[in-house]
Amino acid sequence: MNRRKLSIRQKINVAIFIEATLIAAISVFIFLTFKTVLSKLRFIEEFDDINISFLEMRKAEKNYFLYHDPDALTEAYHKGSIAYRTLKRSQEKLTSVLGKDTYNSLIQTLDKYLATIQNIKKPAASPEFASYLRDLGHNLTQLSTHLIKSEHRKINEIIHQSTVMLILSILGIFFSQLFRWHYFSTLLAKKLAKMESLTHTVAKGQFHEVAVQESEPEDEIGLVINAIAKMAQELEKREEQLLQAKKLASLGVLISGVAHELGNPLNNISMLAEGYLSYFDSLSDEEKKQFMKDIQIQTERIRKIVRNLLDFARQKKPEFKVCNPKEIVEKSISLVENQLRVSKIRLHKTFAPKLPSIYVDENQIQQVLINLFTNAIHAMSGGGDLFVDVYSPELKDKVVIRVKDTGSGIKPEILPHIFDPFFTTKGTKGTGLGLSVSYGIIKQHNGKISVETEVGKGTTFTIELPAYQENKEGANG
Ligand SMILES: Nc1ncnc2c1ncn2[C@@H]1O[C@H](COP(=O)(O)OP(=O)(O)OP(=O)(O)O)[C@@H](O)[C@H]1O
Ligand SMILES: [Mg+2]
């Protein structure tokens, strides 16, 4: 089932809605509690008046029994009537608080009390009325005092319960805020970290890795990630176009270069042949030999150009094999060891232990290394040190081969051209194809070649090749 996930904005809205509902419920609860407490207080206030009337009524009643003063009885009747009227006037309110039964029993008892006073007032009243009146009065004051006390107790209970509820609600809101804060900050931090890593990958020029990240967006950050992926796709396309344009441009350079490169020795051969023919009769055997030797040198030069040109143009698909990088480097070194000795160059080689394998065309990588060694030898005409280091960075996802010399270094103005075909500073001794062929080979191996140099101090070429991963041949080939 395709369940649509909530966007960040929707998630925030849901969280705010839940909290607002919680706050509204608490407010309603507080409002209702206040209302109940207030109505109970009003009741107490009102009932207090009745209670006072009852107490005064009983005081007059007691006076009557003590002093047999008929005025006291009238006073008791008067106070009882006031209480009766108040009870009747507030019937509705009192029934709502006391309940119908309690209210009725109260009013009936008072009614009987007043009737008993009337009976006592009659001449020759039965003495039983007196004790009846006392009992009724006692019941009335007891009931009213009990009611006031019970309402007080209820108010206390309500206040206690609301305090507990309030504390729990505040804690609830606090923890919900805490949860919301934690949830959103981790969510955002995680997504922003992904965005950061994607932009770093783009910055490193690894557009393809980012371009494939486009997917059904889960939320707003998903949309931004998709936008970055689209940008990477666009950059990848542009890079490809740029590469094509560069290739076309270098084709132009290549053609004029070929014409120029071949033109020189051909011209020389033609002149040599012409001279040879013109002066044939007057030339000594030694001179004739020299002419032929010169022609041979020029032909050799043409052969070298053609061979390098073939390497450059062949676009031969490399034949990939799982190889040990140390073995390839050692083999390449052995091919130039003689030259190193002649040129008085000390070799310093280091191989990191446990190097991962690489998936490469062994011959092509050797060709690259020999190009780099030869360039270094040429740059150290007066002798020097050649450092060859092979290692693998922490992740073991690539193998790095570093070739460092202590030679002349490369001038800043020519540095941007060293990988161009036919760019050479060695005149007729170089074809200027070594580095451009090397660049093409490393590129075909999904690797990188870079250079650091300082005039008068030396140059370091660094080659990075992806390590062989058993389940990911495609990534290596
Ligand atoms: N290690 C180095 N030190 C100084 N300069 C270098 C070094 N490597 C390359 N260069 C410069 O880069 C230029 C191009 O090098 P590249 O290997 O492509 O051609 P080349 O060596 O001149 O000719 P070829 O390799 O065909 O004999 C060189 O002519 C040289 O000026
Ligand atoms: Mg070279």
- From the CA of 431, give the closest atom in ligand 1: 26
Give the Cα separation of 334 and 370 in Å (integer): 10
Q: Could you say which residues of the chain have pLDDT below 70?
A: 1-4, 125, 243-254, 256-257, 311-317, 471-477
Closest CA to 138 of 128, 146, 148, 150: 146
In the reported structure, the alpha carbon of residue 379 is separated from the centroid of ligand 1 by a whole-number distance in angstroms of 8
Kindly calculate the radius of gyration of the chain based on its CA atoms and give it in whole angstroms. Answer: 54
Query: What interhelical angle do 100-121 and 128-203 show, nearest 10?
Result: 160
**Global confidence as pTM:** 0.47
454 C-alpha vs ligand 1 centroid, how far in Å? 15
Ligand 1 atom at shortest distance from the alpha carbon of 403: 1
What domains are defined for the chain?
Answer: 8-184 (1.20.120), 318-476 (3.30.565.10)
Residue nearest to atom 22 of ligand 1 (CA): 424
The residues, any chain, with a CB within 8 Å of residue 195's CB and separated by 6 or more, are: 221, 224, 225, 228
Lining residues, ligand 1, CB within 6 Å: 308, 371, 375-376, 379, 405, 407-408, 410, 418, 423-426, 430-436, 459
pLDDT in tens, 26-81: 889 889 988 888 888 888 888 888 889 889 999 999 998 888 888 998 999 999 99
Is-contact 339 451, C-beta < 8 A?
Answer: no
| Two tokens, residue 33 | 């509690």
Q: Which residues pair with 338 in a beta bridge?
A: none
Cα-to-centroid distance, 436 and ligand 1 (Å)? 10
d(CA 365, CA 367): 5
| Span between the terminal Cα atoms of the chain, in Å | 39
Q: Please give the distance, rounded to the nearest whole angstrom, from the Cα atom of residue 272 to the centre of ligand 2.
A: 28
Concatenate the DSSP letters of all residues of 107-161 into one string. Answer: HHHHHHHHHHHHHHHSTT--THHHHHHHHHHHHHHHHHHHHHHHHHHHHHHHHHH
List the residue whose alpha carbon is closest to atom 28 of ligand 1.
424
Ligand 1 mean position, distance from CA 296 (Å): 25
pLDDT of residue 4: 59
Residue 404's φ and ψ, nearest 5 degrees, are -120, 135
- Amino acid identity, position 139: N
Using DSSP, how many helices (H) and how many strands (E) does the chain show?
A: 12, 7
Residue nearest to atom 1 of ligand 1 (CA): 376
pLDDT digits (tens, 9 = 90+) for 92-120: 888 887 889 989 999 999 999 999 998 88
Residue 256: per-residue pLDDT? 67
Question: Which ligand approaches the C-alpha of residue 421 most closely?
Answer: 1
As a whole number of angstroms, the distance between CA 269 and CA 229 comes to: 58
What pLDDT score was predicted for residue 477?
A: 41
Q: How far is the CA of 366 from the centre of ligand 2 (A)?
A: 14
* 345-351 sheet: strands from edge to edge: 345-351, 384-391, 398-405, 458-466, 448-454
pLDDT at 471: 64
